[in-house]
A and B are shown apart, each in its own frame.
Chain A
Amino acid sequence: MVRFKNRYITVEVDPVKLPKNEPWPLKTSKLYRALMAEVENLHGDFGVASITSGLAVKYCNKETRIAVIRCRHGPHRFVATSIPFIHNVGKDDVSVNTLYTGATLHQCYKFIKAYQENHLQKLYSSLKTEEERQEFAKSVLTLPEARNICVRETPDENNV
């Protein structure tokens, strides 16, 4: 039995008009719809049909504005080529950067952690008090929602 191969694409969704440090509610369903619309525009019915099975936005972080998109290996090219063309999520203007493409969610998680640590070093200087810093580090590094998903995903993948 061969398992399905997936690709997990880590993206950073950056609302153009909002300042960096303001939390922005990023919803998985909204990002999913925006992605579908863009794939339909770029790759037509064929693209939509190819990605529909298996496409899911697994995780969105409103603090860091990072999201993970899961899709099947093969059709992931349709998703990957469409991501840079997404300009709206819901009603907000955004620009989307692809950060990383991995084969498992765990790899993506590792990447996000490293990426956030790097990001944190840069932001430390802008925060004044030690308490503020600790609070911020907690919110960025613990990635509560991400950990939940990882815990749920891991036994799953071993079974299949």
Chain B
Amino acid sequence: MLCPEVWDFDSALKNTHIHRKSGNEILEHCEDVISNHHLNHHVSVLISDCESIPEDLSNILKTDCEYYRVHLPLASLIDKEFIDLFILAGGEVSALSIGTRLDADDCSAALLPSGHFVLSVGGDRFRSLGIEGVATSPDRYGIVIDLRKPYFKPGKSNYDRTLRSLSKFDPVNFDFIIAWEPHDEKICPSTIAKYLADKGYRVQQCQPHFEYKVDNAVSIPSLRETPETELLEWLGAHSLGVFRKDSSITSPETAEYLSSYEAPTDCTKSKKTILFQWTGFFTRKRFVHLFKKLRHYSSEKLKDSSWISLTVQGFMDSPVAWKCTPHGLYRNSDEQYTIFIEKEKLQCMAVLPSNGKIK
């Protein structure tokens, strides 16, 4: 300890970039961002100025968005029959273990739509498992198994060894949330639930939680003039209801004492601002669909100076953040993105981890 550090403590939370792009390449970039974010928990859509509540948008994540909560052992996810039926046939399975904290619990697991089975395990557990993996943070290891590889099948030593280690796993059963996007529209997504129920696992159907708020006469900051950080801060403050009248604030002096936050100055008054929020578990395909709808809406019904924002957040405890990149253990923000859409042009502002750039 040459000089003990007592003065400057870095917050170390921020490992993200704000990308601001516009033009033609932006569309591709946005779709890339959306389809690389596999496990989604929360969506909020803000329409800054509109006449009436767009019904088609509010219904979009309501129908056929059920997901299932299943109590099953890890090994059943690499069961050959399961892989054949739901992954190799062309569908996309998204699954995530819940109630497993990434920084405190020994193991959290996820199954990505790309066909990767991802585990994040503690050091002792990793050494006893005997499966190949890489160190992601001190005494934490990430294991990625590609279930689509042709050699990953019974009879091959790799498969057998993996199955054997996962069968010995303690605790045996994990709580998973599972959603399946079939390759064929004729097949019902609930097939996976039936399959798992037939196997004897406890299956519970879950619905995404939906709510919306309408605010009248809100000052909306201009998308072009306001700096990114201020815009994101305003969006967060509005979504959380910071501007709403509160009983805890009794006088202007109290408000001044409590907070020095000021909204951006460059604002326009809007008649009606709508905020949609969905919470639950969503597959990436839903968002590609939602994004298309939003673009369609913006080009047809959106007023000239107004804009739409789409914010998507992942799970704090998922073992991966983007694609297959391991989730930062001590950082909280590398699993979300925000996209802004204007009437004519599309503007993307994505909050991305700086180490896992999307190209």
Tell me if B5 counts as interface (CB < 8 A to partner A). yes
For residue B5, which residue of chain A has the nearest CB? A74
- Residues of A near B7 (CB, < 8 A) are 74, 77
- Residues of A near B12 (CB, < 8 A) are none
CA A46 to CA B5, docked complex, whole Å? 12
Number of B residues with CB within 8 Å of any CB on chain A: 6
For residue A76, which residue of chain B has the nearest CB? B3
Tell me if A122 counts as interface (CB < 8 A to partner B). no
CA A2 to CA B4, docked complex, whole Å? 13
CA A72 to CA B2, docked complex, whole Å? 9
Tell me if B187 counts as interface (CB < 8 A to partner A). no
Tell me if A50 counts as interface (CB < 8 A to partner B). yes
Tell me if B258 counts as interface (CB < 8 A to partner A). no
Least CB distance from A46 to B in Å reads 8
Contact A78 B3 (CB under 8 A): no
Contact A50 B4 (CB under 8 A): yes
Q: What 1/0 mask marks residues of chain A from 26 to 55 whose CB sits below 8 Å from any chain B CB?
A: 000000000000000000001000100000
The size class of the interface chain A forms with chain B is 10 to 19
Q: Which of A94-141 contact B (CB under 8 A)?
A: none
- Residues of A near B3 (CB, < 8 A) are 5, 72-74
Least CB distance from B79 to A in Å reads 55
CA A46 to CA B6, docked complex, whole Å? 9
- Residues of A near B4 (CB, < 8 A) are 50, 72, 74-75
- Residues of A near B2 (CB, < 8 A) are 2, 5, 73
CA A77 to CA B7, docked complex, whole Å? 8
- Residues of A near B6 (CB, < 8 A) are 46, 50, 74-75, 77-78
For residue A7, which residue of chain B has the nearest CB? B3
CA A48 to CA B176, docked complex, whole Å? 50
Q: Which of B1-45 contact A (CB under 8 A)?
A: 2-7
CA A147 to CA B7, docked complex, whole Å? 34
Q: What 1/0 mask marks residues of chain B from 304 to 339 whose CB sits below 8 Å from any chain A CB?
A: 000000000000000000000000000000000000
Least CB distance from B112 to A in Å reads 44
- Residues of B near A2 (CB, < 8 A) are 2
CA A75 to CA B6, docked complex, whole Å? 6
CA A32 to CA B4, docked complex, whole Å? 21
Binding site for B on A (CB under 8 A): 2, 5, 46, 50, 72-75, 77-78
Binding site for A on B (CB under 8 A): 2-7
Query: Top 4 A-B pairs ranked by shortest CB distance?
Result: A74-B3, A50-B6, A74-B4, A73-B3
Chosen A-B contacts, 5 in total, with CB atoms closer than 8 Å, are: A2-B2, A46-B6, A72-B3, A74-B4, A74-B5
